[in-house]
Amino acid sequence: MHRVPLIMVVTSDLAGQVRGKGFPASERDERLLKGVGYTFTNHMINCWGQIPATPWGPLGDLVLMPDAATAVEVDFGDGSMAERFMLGDLFRMDGAPWDCCLRHYLRSALRELESETGLQLIAAFEHEFHDGGLEKREGDSYSLDKVRRGGDFPGAVLHALQAAGAEPETFLPEFGRSQFEFTVKPAPAMVAADRAIIAREMVRAAARRLGRDVSFSPQVDPAGPGNGVHIHMSFQDREGRPVSHDPTQPSNLSGVMGSFVAGILKRLPAMVAVTAPSAASYQRLKPHSWSSAYNNLGWRDREAAIRICPGPETPGADVASAFNVEFRAGDAAASPWLQLGILVRAGLEGIREGLATPQPVSSDPDAMSDSERRRYGVERLPVSLGEALDRLERASDAGTLLPGEFLEAYIMHKRGELEAVSGLTPEEICRRYGDVY
């Protein structure tokens, strides 16, 4: 069969979906200069392809400009068309970046952080997903046999991640039935978020070619473990020196990292509407499920919203370079650009306010009395997307976190999505989201 290579330019949008337009590869140079046309309302397409409401209607035009630095060209060696795409930025027709472009949103947050504090954020995303095509076997958590039953899939994923420059670090047969996880190397925050988008597409691309059915949805089955997106974060100064670690502090967090973490945790009950933005997300964010249910900082605690991660403890080890914190209250229904962007904005607010490092919670916050929780300054995260959206709308700094026309569009998008699942059972909600993430 004769085929012309097609290059897609894509954005990751409010629904956390990767969408865009394509052109023949022969037009690459021209398209790098002029981009492809896009419209405002495309951002309001929800994860099921519906547009329940839009602030923009059919009006207006945007340009989606490909960034050649993100170009992916991955041949799977099976005779299928290679995957070819580039991530893009959304601009208004006069060349100004569009407020609601999520890549711009993250980039501008990182620029503010850098210019005010001199800090560069280093990040790494971990991704969990379910492989619906995997032959099921009880008790196969972390087992070699589960990887073996994966057949060519794990190796094809690693090939695709490497070929796409996503720098895979580990691939593992996670705890849940048919659940896998992969991690990639840390990188400057913008690269890390780009990579998160590319990496999930590589998993889907490998799965498609092998006839498998994968889902990154936060909860594919109400009874099983959820799929988290965990984001590791640390800071470097302008000279590239690690500045998140301070061994003289009780929790080893430097003052600036402590304020950043405090800024996130303080806003988390509202912000979780953005980091865990689906109705299914709240089936995952419950106590005792190794995700997070409170806005707490935890020392090596896998149920904390932010976990202080272990580092090397051998004599002479470079502890400061390895030191990082892990945000665990997020999932793949959110665009990585948006998810990391709002963490940066909230953390930067914490630095501006000069917040003190929160006291790490050393016991189960769910087992504490209300007064104990108040002493630690922790509260239960919203138990539904509806409640999280209410909190976001009521937050006095919601307009700082999601500036310009962004907040209104986001709330409208998510309220429409909620409407579409109202009255469904938890199983049906898992199925609906499982099909599209």
User: Judged by CB under 6 A, does residue 302 bind ligand GLU?
Assistant: yes
User: Judged by CB under 6 A, does residue 186 bind ligand GLU?
Assistant: no
User: Judged by CB under 5 A, does residue 303 bind Mg ion?
Assistant: no
Minimum Å gap between C-beta 361 and Mg ion is 21
Question: Which span (52-60, 83-91, 221-229, 262-270) binds ligand GLU, by CB under 6 A?
Answer: 221-229
Instruction: Determine the residue with CB nearest Mg ion.
Output: 181
User: Judged by CB under 6 A, does residue 252 bind ligand GLU?
Assistant: no
* Pick 59 or 290: Cβ nearer ligand GLU: 290
User: Judged by CB under 5 A, does residue 181 bind Mg ion?
Assistant: yes
| Residue 126 and residue 183 in contact, taking contact as beta carbons nearer than 8 Å | yes
Binding mask 322-341 for ligand GLU (x = CB under 6 A): ------x-------------
Strand partners for 306: 297, 327
User: Judged by CB under 5 A, does residue 221 bind Mg ion?
Assistant: no
| Residue 308 and residue 300 in contact, taking contact as beta carbons nearer than 8 Å | yes
Q: Which of 409, 387, 403 is nearest to 52 (CA)?
A: 409
The interface partner of residue 159, options being ligand GLU, Mg ion, none and the CB cut-off 5 to 8 Å by kind, is none
Question: Which span (28-36, 224-232, 319-327, 366-374) binds ligand GLU, by CB under 6 A?
Answer: 224-232
Q: Is 319 strand, coil or helix?
A: helix
300: its two tokens: 């090596």
For ligand GLU, the binding residue among 136, 250, 290, 427 (CB under 6 A) is 290
286 exposure class (CB count in 10 Å sphere: 0-12, 13-18, 19+):
middle
Minimum Å gap between C-beta 210 and Mg ion is 22
Minimum Å gap between C-beta 338 and ligand GLU is 18
Instruction: Determine the residue with CB nearest ligand GLU.
Output: 228
State the Cα–Cα distance between residues 312 and 364, nearest whole angstrom: 26
CB pairs under 8 A, 24+ apart, for 21-30? 21/64, 22/85, 25/84
Residue 217 CB partners (closer than 8 Å, separation 6+): 130, 227, 278, 280, 331, 332, 333, 430, 433, 434, 436, 437
* Pick 140 or 246: Cβ nearer ligand GLU: 140
Question: How many residues form the binding site for ligand GLU (CB under 6 A)?
Answer: 9
State the Cα–Cα distance between residues 86 and 72, nearest whole angstrom: 6
* Pick 234 or 291: Cβ nearer ligand GLU: 291
Q: Is 57 strand, coil or helix?
A: coil
For ligand GLU, the binding residue among 183, 215, 291, 324 (CB under 6 A) is 291
Residue 223 CB partners (closer than 8 Å, separation 6+): none
Q: Which residues bind ligand GLU (CB under 6 A)?
A: 128, 225-226, 228, 284, 290-291, 302, 328
Q: Which residues bind Mg ion (CB under 5 A)?
A: 181
